[in-house]
Amino acid sequence: MTAFTSPPMDTAQAGPPPPVYAKPGFRQRLLQRLGTRIALGWLLLVLLLALAAPLVTAYDPLSGGDNALQPPLSAGHWLGTDDLGRDIWTRVVYGTRVSLAVGIISAFFAVLIGVVLGAIAGYYGGWADALLMRIAEFFQTLPRFVVALIVIAVFGASLAKMILVIALLSWPQLARVVRATVASLRQSQFVDAARVAGMGHGAIILREILPNVAAPIIVIGSLDIASAILIEASLSFFGLGEPNLVSWGGMLNDAQQYLRSAWWMSAFAGLAIALTVWAFNLLGDALNDALNPRAGHTP
């Protein structure tokens, strides 16, 4: 190749940035399926009922009356009454509070513990990682329900205890996922770049790594809410729930003798449990799809 002499170089001209094709936004992706929209609608309804319970009910959920075992569509009791004369509709509505409280608070603590421990294990590795993962394994191998049963049976029933127990049993799964994601992100070049830019370890974990872990955390979090509600319902069904609170599981417990004769005592509570758990599961699924836009995206 003959050697040319160069013309005056134009180092500029990076060219325009490639066009950004409009992709469906997060909300669109989330809401694109009908099932998700129904699930979200249901959850919104549950939330509203929980917040506005006194406004939409006319009776005291705990004290009964004379009108025992009235079937649905009776006068003044559109869902009927139970064996102690308590209005079913009122109890279902007040039950939302317990379910949501247990579900959300225990999931919140599980996420908190799981993220902190998982991030430490994933980022620092070494003995911290080994120790934390052994602890997580220990908790994970305990059968959730049986442990909850034992703790509450031995130490007494209360909402706070139930939330604590469920949180302690749920954090390991989240921690493992966080640990794995953090460990792999730690190797990425942009973390290297952050170190070279002068960021300390703490800042790197918070600003660079955790935002990229948010997606699996959100998904597992919502699934944790669903399973927490289910565990609570099961415990209450066995009579281990807090006695002075209305919960759907408790309603099922009350309805045991009346499964055939007064089907409405169990049916509506059971339906509420099933729909709420299903809705949270579906939400978790939809969030997973929406937060991972690469799936199905044409390159």
Residues forming contacts to another protein in the complex (CB under 8 A) are: 1, 3-7, 9-20, 188-190, 192-199, 203, 208, 211-212, 298-299
Task: State the nearest-atom distance from the C-beta of 267 to another protein, in Å.
Answer: 47
| CB 128, min distance to another protein, A | 18
Task: Indicate the residue among 7 and 244 with the shorter CB distance to another protein.
Answer: 7
What minimum distance in Å lies between the beta carbon of 269 and another protein? Answer: 43
Considering the complex, what minimum distance in angstroms separates the CB of residue 21 from another protein?
9
Q: Which is nearer to another protein, 6 or 244 (CB)?
A: 6
Instruction: At 247, list the tokens.
Output: 């919960």
Q: Which is nearer to another protein, 2 or 244 (CB)?
A: 2
DSSP for 259-290, written as a single string: TTTTHHHHHHHHHHHHHHHHHHHHHHHHHHHH
Q: Which residue has the tokens 């669903």?
A: 226
Q: Nearest-CA neighbor of 227 among 154, 160, 155, 173?
A: 173
Question: Residue 223 CB, nearest distance to another protein (Å)?
Answer: 24
Rounded to an integer, what distance in angstroms lies between the CA atom of residue 120 and that of residue 115? 8
CA dist 18 and 198 (Å) reads 31
Closest CA to 176 of 127, 114, 111, 218: 114
**Least separation, in Å, of the C-beta of 195 and another protein?**
6
Question: How near is the Cβ of 251 to another protein at its closest, in Å?
Answer: 45
Angle, CA of 46, 75 and 274, to the nearest 5°: 25
Which helix (H) or strand (E) element contains residue 258? none
How far CA 59 is from CA of 52, 63, 81, 86, 218, in Å, comes to: 14, 8, 11, 8, 37
* Helix or strand holding residue 177 (H, E): helix 159-186
Quickly count: other Cβ atoms within 10 Å of residue 244's Cβ. Answer: 8
Contacting residues for 219 by C-beta, under 8 A, at least 6 apart: 284, 285, 287, 288, 291
Of 19 and 66, which has the nearer Cβ to another protein? 19
Which of 126/299 has CB closer to another protein? 299
CB atoms within 10 A of CB 32: 13
Q: Indicate the residue among 1 and 55 with the shorter CB distance to another protein.
A: 1
- Alpha-carbon gap, residue 123 to 184, rounded angstroms: 9
CB of 20 to another protein, least distance (A): 5
For another protein, the closer CB: 67 or 292: 292
Nearer to another protein, 1 or 75 (CB): 1
